[in-house]
A and B are shown apart, each in its own frame.
Chain A
């Protein structure tokens, strides 16, 4: 009798164990990001974010500045394997040292950051970093996580429509996690190398920021939205390039660009 009982237990365990294994080995084609969204949705959310940005900030639309950004973006995008978005760079008149990526290929840079940069090539590596965030869908991931987190805790209280728009705003103001920052750095270093721009400029910029960090804490928005740690700095300042690597300068007069800023 008791022998039979345990035999049946084994049968049960075997059945469910096999079901588990069978469904684990089935090849699910999961998207790298489980929260992939439709292009139209991303477009709408990007427009919403853009409107939100324009409420608080003023963008600068100067043809010479746009053509400078165009030169940098062309250099970068022509060296990318796939370009997921038609990138739009918005320059915002504000003293914050900041740059961030919104949805649908919208990248915002603050004049405070441009003033801080020593060369067009440095701006290129920072844009490469932001493109990395965009190409790897970090913003969508961040919003999905924030919403997911919020939804998780508010299941009992019921959803809120206003919450959605607040969270969208939160999506651009909160920091990426370290993993995403590292991924964007890797992307930027790789892209810079392919675009014949010295990748170590990213590390040089980080070091300068870090040094400034001790004196002017309030200014460093870039650090708040792009948390820096010594690993990241080290990785980007020690990035290996082949001996034959030679930077091909961007044909931009950087002093002139900085004088264009109001």
Chain B
């Protein structure tokens, strides 16, 4: 599999660097607007990602990484909210150890997500690539891989071996 060449900081415009940074900072702004509903951040990230589709691969990579890395956090937070309401309304406030463990895990996840998003924003502003565990490779693959359609040079004939 072949990949497009990575942009280097000197070749990126100030606008591109700021758009890439914006992908990470976007969700903090959204968080302030719709706090108890984690879904609002997600909607904001999706919109941001689609708005950046015509932008350079560098910006697309960072928007996609921000969006994808937000998915598990949102799911885990929604799970915490659901579980809490469940306990509140149906379980007579009986708190179990797995529930506390889950909340602590969710807390750690949110803190890590926050820290890595800040680092991502700073790196993007400098025009650097920054790869999160798993999401970095996944998004690089999605954004930079050379597909036949994008290059419009269909490989029809192959050598015999």
Contact = CB atoms under 8 A, between A and B. Distances in A.
A19 B134 contact: no
Nearest to B96: A24
Interface in A159-208: 177, 179
Given A19-B104, A20-B102, A148 B133 contact: no
Interface string B100-129: 111011001100000000000000000000
B23 to A, nearest CB: 20
Most buried by B among A8, A11, A35, A177: A8
Nearest to A18: B105
Contacts of B95: 30, 34
Interface in B124-142: 133-134, 137-138, 141
User: How many interface residues does chain A have, given as a range?
Assistant: 20 to 34
B105 A20 contact: yes
Nearest to A7: B134
B98 interface: yes
Interface residues of B, number: 20
Given A16-B105, A23-B105, 4 more contacts: A20-B105, A23-B101, A144-B93, A179-B92
A28 B141 contact: no
Interface in A1-41: 1-2, 4-5, 8-9, 11-12, 16, 19-28, 30, 34-35
Contacts of A2: 141
B161 interface: no
A145 B97 contact: no
Contacts of A155: 36
Contacts of A221: none
